[in-house]
Amino acid sequence: MKILLLCLLPFFAFGQNSILIRDIKPLPFTDVKVKDKFWAPRIETVCKTTIPFALRQCEETGRIRNFELASRDAGTGSGNENGAFCSAYPFDDSDVYKIIEGAAYALQHQYDASLDAQLDSL
């Protein structure tokens, strides 16, 4: 019973002028601009440093090359006859997918032509 009362408290605690959850409308993430002193610098670091570093790491460790090898095998049957890939784990492709996802969000936050071109080249 106490839990139910706590859940209902936001609906009754602030009187007639309160904002109800049903009054909250979704907002596209592209309409949100973070300009505070805590998150804004961190987002900037991710856009300018973390994503380019992660993409370089994927290139250096062979994760991106694995896609080239897999596409040759699927298309022509040549290129990777023994089934070996450049990286240690068969699930390394998920790292590339997540970095592309993060980079796409970063481009929505602040457009960067070189990052856009790099993503298009993958």
For the stretch 115-122, contacts whose Cβ atoms lie closer than 8 Å and that sit 24 or more positions apart, written own/partner, are 115/47, 115/51, 115/52, 118/55, 122/64, 122/67, 122/96
pLDDT in tens, 32-44: 888 999 999 999 9
Write out pLDDT tens, residues 56-66: 999 999 999 88
Query: What is the per-residue pLDDT across 75-121, written as a single tens digit (0 to 9) for each?
Result: 555 555 566 778 777 788 899 999 999 999 999 988 999 999 999 99
What CA–CA distance (Å, rounded) separates 33 from 90? 38
Residue 25 above 60 pLDDT? Answer: yes
pTM exceeds cut of 0.85: no
